[in-house]
Every structure is written in structure tokens, then in C-alpha cells.
Chain A
Amino acid sequence: MSDTDAPGITNTSTAAGGGGPATDGRLLTVTDVKTHFQTDRGLVRAVDGVSFTLDRGDTLGIVGESGCGKTVLSRSIMGLLPKRGLVREGSIVLEGTELIDLSPKEMREYWGAQMSMIFQDPMTSLNPVMKIGNQINESIRQHLDVSKDFATELATNLLGSVRIPEPEARLKEYPHQLSGGMRQRVCIAVALACGPKLLFADEPTTALDVTVQAQVLDLMATQQRERFMAMVLITHDLGVVAGRADEIAVMYAGRVVEKSPAEELFSNMKMPYTEALLSSIPKLGDATHTRLATIPGRPPDLVNPPKGCKFAPRCAYAQERCLEEEPPLVEVTPGHEYRCWFPVGTPEGVEALERNKREGTVAAASLTRGA
């Protein structure tokens, strides 16, 4: 089932053009995407100007805490957000087609067939009263013009390919008869049923047992390789994307604060937030009862974000300047961008951290005291 790109799928705008002028051979180009919600409290800037590109076969890891806009970004690109109160700007180009202006009706051609999504909790993302076989067949028969028998055969093969034992028997079972890991495999099978070119995985292993997390991630990597599919892997755990993503974007308060090829990010991180995320992962070598490193405070209110750098109130490096001026996205090496006035590992950064430690204070403290 390595190539399920079916004849029924409309590829017209792109395949016929042979990759028009706008594509650059890129699968997905996201430029300055903003996604805001109008609420009673005011405008929530859930995603505030995110840009990236993605090629077929590559994996982009999006990392950040809860409430940083990772999920909204992925749903915004998919066009799955509810319309009410939604403000969506920027440009999302999939193989030369601009998606941001398309109506849900037009997007339906893309959902499932061109791009697809895996959700966090396999307990709720499968219909509890529908047999697994039917759930897979549903999406196959939605997009591909095939007979029921053929769809069932396809579903059996799919279940086999996501390494579910006895796929024929499983087709007739209900989701609650499977374990969490198996359910997530079924979700993967559903998402891959129509051979999408782009897969969004929204915290695909967060709800799973640690012992099956690696299995599920490996399975996704295998499927991605076999299908030459692009993947956006969303997680709060840098450990999940390490070694799996080609490029990593760290998001904070609706913006990308650091974006870099994966090896570069781990060896030469510039953004204090990335450093803080990494050091909050417990290490196996640590002595027992070692205090876990945490990031103090919470992500900012996206209705009234702080004036300067959004991370400054929680940052160990923050200076007065960080609270006043927002740092722009600067590029150190090709492909490695960050937003910071006092980057990690630079003389300014080291000095800023030293000064904060010496004075026993951070910029955040003065901010909270002032407020």
C-alpha cells in the first residue's frame, strides 16, 4: 500500500501545471499566517504571523507548551477551525494552490486525500459505536471511487501495515475493544487511508503509555518513508522530535521563536525558551530526588500579550530591553532563525544571565512588582 494515490483524487490544479511558478517544488509554503479569534474578552491572537516551508518526505516538529498555538496553527492550515469569530490571514500554499480562501466545500477535496490529521487522544477520536472497518472504509469511499469489497480489502491491508495483528478480525470490532496504542494505530490507518501528501500529527503520543510511544512514533516514521509524505509533528516534548524531525520550530505565544534544522537546534540553540524546554526534561543520569527544572509562570494571555518579548516575564536572561522592545526574527546560519536580544551562548546572553544571577532578580520580578 505504498502508493494509494488514487485516480479519483483531484490533483488538477497542481499536477497538470507541472508544479507552477509559485510552488518552488515545495509541498507546503506557509507565509505569515495569523489566526485570531474574536471573543467577548477581546481578540485572541492564537497564531500571530507564522511562516515555514515543508518538502515532501520531510518532518517539521512544532514544539511548545500548552496554549502556545500549536494546535490552532495546524487546524488553521487544515482549515478545520469553526468560522464563528475567526480571523485568518496570510498565505497557505499547497503545491501551488492557495488554500486560505477556499470554502469548506472546496477544502473537502483536500481533507483526507491531500492532507490528513492524527489527534491526541485515540479514546475520543474514534467513533465509539462504529466498527473499526467502517471507520476506515468511510474515508476510503469518500474519496476513492471503489467498491465496498475493495475498500474492505484496502482497510485490511492498511491495518496490517500499521502492524495490527489479525486485521480481518479487528475490522469487525469496536474501538473500546482495543488498547490505547492499538486505537492510535487505527487512527493512523484512518488518516493514511487515502494516501495524503501531508500529515499533521497533533501530540500523537501524549495520551499513550510511555512504552508504546516509541512504537507509534516509529510506525509513523516508517509510514512516512514508505509514502514519501510530509509530516508536521506537534508536541510539547523536545524528546519526541529529537531524531525524528528534520526541522524544528519552537512556538511561544502564537509565534515561532526559534526555527532551525534539528541537529543545529540541539547543538546550538539560541533562544532561552528552547533551552528552558530542554532542561525541563528529566535526565536519566540525574541523581534521585533531583529537583526538576521548570519554567516559572505561565504562557501570556493572548488577548493582552506583553509589550516586548513575549517570553521575557519568565526568562532567566531577560533585561529591561526585553520588556520594552520585541526582538525580530534573525537568522544566524542558513535556516536557523530566532527571536532574542540576549541569545544563549553569545557574549551578550552569558553576560545577561550572569547579571541576573548576581542581582538575584529577573526582569520578570520588576515587572510583577511594578504591576
Chain B
Amino acid sequence: MPERPPETALVGDFETPDEQIVEESIEGGLLGQSAEIRVGAVAAGGEGRRRGPGLGLGAWLAIGWMVFIVLIAVLAKTGILTWGDAEESFGRCARKGPLADEGSASGFLLGCDSNGRDMIPRLALGAWTSMLVATGAIVVGFVIGGFLGLLAGYFGGKETRFGAVIVGALVGAVFGLIIGGVFFAVLIGLGDNLAGVLGVLFGALAGGFAGYRRGDLDVYLTGVFNVMLSVPAIVLALSLTAFLLGSADEAASGGGLPPELVLIIAIGVVSIPLVGRISRASALSWAQRDFVLAARAQGAKNGRIMVKELLPNVLPAMFSISLLGIAIAIVAEGTLAILGVGVRPPTPSWGNIIALDRGNLFKSPHIVFEASLLIFLTVLALNFLGDVVRSRFDVREGGI
């Protein structure tokens, strides 16, 4: 807004001593003007309060890029504008890039992949897959992680026997399945299924009892987050994907879940503790504020306090980490594709475009390069937007 220029002008002009006298005579006028503008800004503050300084070029570029990518993805998926067939093979341009000096890639602006398929429709369709998987995964993480984090943060340090028993039992069941299952199966020699059931049973009982004794939901939820974070994310996502996808035979016969959904679940589960920790930390600090106690002193229920009082304060942090999370998820999808799980060809995704042609990196680098560039720019834009969201969507005093 216009409040800034007068001050900067003053500071800047004083550096040249020759003009100082002139400047002094102007100074009064400038200060007066700036004061006037300030008054104007305050008076106008009632209505368009949020119109602070502009977003800046970087933010607009990032927004523009994201709109562009989403638009292309939607157009390609709906078939309104596909820029050609993603499946059609053109033998003459296989592995030919746009800058190939021999042979002909004319008519294909970005060249073709190793099967001679036009890169443009493949990248456009791949944008859809990549964005769908990444966004879906983060929505899963956002909703579940955010909810658990809010619970942990709000009830942190309070006595929450019921919740602690349930979470404790769940955690105990998982550990019981692993540890108890092995114990019963290997040492005692029971059947696998029976050992598993016994393990879950004992684990749940032990966990529930611990929850009853300790009675703090936060301790258990944080514990779950920590355990999930301590398993390398890619290993967790890889095993979840492999487990959920089932065998290739199953997929060929049309059984099992669609690979996109599997990826959403797998990457979503991995992102739960990330969002959860952020929302817990944020909720924990907000829950200490007097307004939460004040709401309680007015008779508000816990659920109401969490949703109406805490959530709006926690959301900006969650949004910001989620935008970063989408960026991470796009990369994760690519990594999983390179490792051989994930979206199955011929459906393109940015990740599996890279995966498919990573062997041709030296012969025809444009294939990997183009997909990587798209991922790079999108991740960059999302990272940037994450920061912008955090600083903009702050209606609190710090935002002024």
C-alpha cells in the first residue's frame, strides 16, 4: 500500500548531503502526507482490511503455474483438449527430442518417448495422475493427521482416560501383531493366524491398560506419530503400496484396488504424522491461551472448543504444511514409480514417465528432463505458495 514509499524516499535521499537542505523543506510535506495516508488507511481498514501489500511477482508466477498445470491436467483427463493421443506410437520419432539433430521429430514440439509416443499428451495426462495422487494423499493426511493432531494438542496434559484407552489399545494391537505374533508363532509354534490373533489380543489389552493408567491421549498419539516418522517414509509407502496393490496377476484379472487409490492411501498414511505433528504443536500452544479457558467458562463443550476456537487458529499452519506436502507427495509418487510400484503403464504419470525412460538418459535425455522440469517447477511453486499462505492467512496481530 502507499504507506511505504514516503519513508523509503526519505531514507534514500538523505544519503546525498548536497540535497539535504532541499529535502528538509520537503520533509515536512512528506511526513504530513504519510501521516495523512496512514489515517486514510486506518479509516479504510474497516472494510477492506485484508488488502495489505500486494502478493508480489513470485507469488503470482506460482499461482499462474499451478493454474496452468491444473487446467492442462483437467483438459487432458476430460478429453476436451488432449493435444493428440497419449497412446499412439510414431515409429519415426521414437526417442527423438525437440533438439535432435538427426532424423525427424518435426511436428512433436517436445519430442517422443522410447515407444514413439508424443510427449505433450503424455505429460498433460501425467499431470492429472500426479496431481490427483499427490492431492488425494495430502487430503487423507490433512484430514486424519489434522484431526489427530488437534485431539492430541487440545487434550495434551489433560486426563483423557477414555481416549487414551482406545488409542493405547490400537497401538498395542499393532505392536502385539508384530511382536506377539512372532513370539507365539516362532517360540511356541502356534499357527500363523492364531499367533496373530493372540498377539493382537494381548497387545490391545496391554495398550488399553497402559492407557488407563497413564490417561493422557497426547502421549499415545505423539508416540504413534513418532513411530511412524521413525520408519523411513519411502519404505513405509513402498510396503503399503506393495501390500495394497497385490500381485500383478490379481491386477491383470481386474481385481484389487485401482493403483491411483492405492498410492493415495500409501502416501496419505505416510503424511499423517507430518501434518499431525504440525497441527498438534500448533493446537498445543493455542490451547494454553485464555480464550480457550474463557470458552470453557462460558459452558462450551470440548468438541465445540476444538472446532470453533482452536481449528481456525491451527488451519493456516496446516494449510501451509499441506501445500509443501503436495510437493513432497509428487516427488514420492515419482520415487515409487521409479522403484517399480505405483501407477501402471500405459497410464502416464510424471513419475512413471521418468521411470520408463530412465535407461535412455544419455541417448534421449529430453524425456526424463521434461518430466523432471515439470515436477521441479510444480514443487517450487507449491513451496512458494505454502509460505505465502502462512503469512497471508493470518488475521491475527502478527499479520499486520
Contacts and interface: CB of A to CB of B under 8 A. Distances in A.
Interface string A216-254: 000000000000000000000000000000000000000
Contacts of A191: 297-298
B290 A121 contact: yes
A109 B313 contact: no
Given A84-B158, A84-B159, A169-B46, A129 B299 contact: no
Contact of B297 (A84, A112, A176): A112
Contacts of A293: none
A128 B397 contact: yes
B308 interface: yes
Contacts, number: 92
Nearest to B158: A82
Nearest to A128: B396
Interface string A121-141: 100111111100000001100
A83 interface: yes
B350 to A, nearest CB: 37
Nearest to B308: A138
B363 interface: no
B312 interface: yes
A83 B158 contact: yes
Interface in B315-368: none
A316 interface: no
A292 to B, nearest CB: 30
A254 B293 CA distance: 22
Interface in B216-254: none
Contact of A127 (B49, B304, B313, B397): B313
A129 B313 CA distance: 6
Contact of A142 (B159, B300, B309, B312): B300
B299 A113 contact: yes
Interface in A318-334: none
Contacts of A142: 298-300, 304
A116 B290 CA distance: 14
A139 B295 CA distance: 8
B51 interface: no
A273 interface: no
Residue among B289, B291, B298 with the most chain A CB within 10 A? B298
A177 B45 contact: yes
Contact of B291 (A82, A83, A112, A126): A126
Residue among B49, B301, B395 with the most chain A CB within 10 A? B395
Nearest to B289: A124
Nearest to A121: B290
A128 B297 CA distance: 18
Contact of A78 (B290, B297, B313): B297
B289 A130 contact: no
Contacts of B397: 128, 176
Size category of the A interface is: 35 or more
Residue among A108, A128, A139, A169 with the most chain B CB within 10 A? A128
Given A112-B297, A119-B290, A127 B159 contact: no
Nearest to B397: A176
Contacts of B301: 108
A77 to B, nearest CB: 12
Given A129-B395, A130-B308, A139 B49 contact: no
Interface in B153-182: 157-159
Contacts of B304: 138, 142
Given A124-B290, A125-B290, A174-B395, A112 B299 contact: yes
Contacts of A311: none
A309 interface: no
A33 B159 CA distance: 22
A138 B293 contact: no
A127 B296 contact: no
Contact of B298 (A84, A112, A177): A112
A143 interface: yes
Interface string A330-366: 0000000000000000000000000000000000000
B290 A108 contact: no
Contact of A119 (B215, B294, B312, B395): B294
B159 A129 contact: no
B400 interface: yes
Contacts of B313: 127-129
Nearest to A113: B299
A111 interface: yes
Given A111-B296, A119-B293, A169-B46, A129 B312 contact: yes
A102 interface: no
Contact of B396 (A82, A108, A129): A129
B196 to A, nearest CB: 36
A80 interface: yes
Given A82-B157, A111-B297, A125 B291 contact: yes
B312 A190 contact: no
Contacts of B291: 124-128
Interface of A: 78, 80, 82-84, 108-113, 116-117, 119-121, 124-130, 138-139, 142-143, 169, 173-174, 176-177, 187, 190-191, 193-194
24 contacts: A82-B157, A82-B158, A109-B299, A111-B296, A111-B299, A112-B297, A116-B297, A116-B298, A119-B293, A120-B290, A121-B290, A125-B289, A125-B291, A125-B293, A127-B295, A128-B395, A128-B396, A128-B397, A130-B309, A138-B298, A138-B300, A139-B298, A177-B49, A187-B294
Q: Which 3 pairs of residues, A with B, have the shortest CB-CB distance?
A: A139-B298, A112-B298, A125-B290
